[in-house]
């Protein structure tokens, strides 16, 4: 992955104003709504990846957005993995989640307005949502 050289580059990508810095990473909430796979590709095309949450502090930061957003977590053959193929270390599922309603909920969104320690929700990957790209700089 290429690193972001300057913040002006992000403005050209179409980020909302909700950009946040954390530990030499920059997070950008999309201005558009895409499916989970489209979101993943959009981030990659711009030198980023769908956000990978590696700490309670990063989870808290991701919980500040005022909309539901895709994160870089999905399930394959019963195993939840991040877009970099690493397994989940710490989970922040909302009560009753993951529940795989109708057997089609394989991707994860963060629910806005919920406590940061329990706001992950599995959802159909085909639904269009805003998403968070994570850039290194």
Q: What is the pLDDT along the chain (137 residues), one digit of tens a residue?
A: 445 554 455 444 456 544 455 667 888 899 899 999 999 999 999 889 999 999 998 899 899 888 999 999 999 989 999 999 999 999 999 999 999 999 999 999 999 999 999 999 999 999 999 999 998 87
Query: How high is the pLDDT of residue 84?
Result: 97
Angle at 30 between CA 24 and CA 32, to 5 degrees: 170
Query: How high is the pLDDT of residue 129?
Result: 98
> In terms of DSSP bridges, do strands 130-136 and 69-76 run parallel, antiparallel, or are they unpaired?
parallel
Query: How high is the pLDDT of residue 52?
Result: 96
Name the token pair of 31: 């201005």
Using the structure block, give the residue that is written with the tokens 């710490």.
90
What distance lies between CA 91 and its chain's CA centroid? 14
* Cross-strand partners of 25: 22, 136
Query: How high is the pLDDT of residue 49?
Result: 96
CA distance 4 to 124: 31
Query: How high is the pLDDT of residue 59?
Result: 94
Query: How high is the pLDDT of residue 114?
Result: 94
Closest CA to 106 of 10, 16, 18, 35: 35
Instruction: List the domains of the chain with CATH numbers.
Output: 7-136 (3.10.100.10)
Q: What is the value of pTM for the model shown?
A: 0.86
CA distance 137 to 78: 33
Helix (H) / strand (E) element for 121: namely strand 120-123
What number of residues does the chain have?
A: 137
């Amino acid at each position: 992955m290429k690193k972001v050289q300057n913040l002006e580059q992000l403005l050209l990508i179409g980020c909302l104003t909700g950009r946040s810095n954390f530990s030499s990473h920059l997070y950008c909430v999309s201005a558009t709504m895409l499916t989970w796979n489209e979101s993943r590709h959009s981030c990659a095309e711009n030198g980023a990846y769908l956000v990978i949450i590696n700490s309670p502090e990063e989870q808290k930061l991701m919980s500040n957005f005022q909309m539901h957003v895709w994160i870089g977590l999905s399930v394959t053959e019963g195993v939840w993995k991040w877009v970099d193929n690493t397994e989940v270390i710490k989970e922040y599922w909302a009560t009753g989640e993951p529940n795989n309603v109708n057997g089609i909920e394989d991707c994860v969104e963060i629910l806005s307005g919920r406590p940061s320690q329990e706001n992950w929700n599995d959802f159909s990957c085909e639904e269009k949502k805003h998403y968070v790209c994570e850039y290194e700089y």
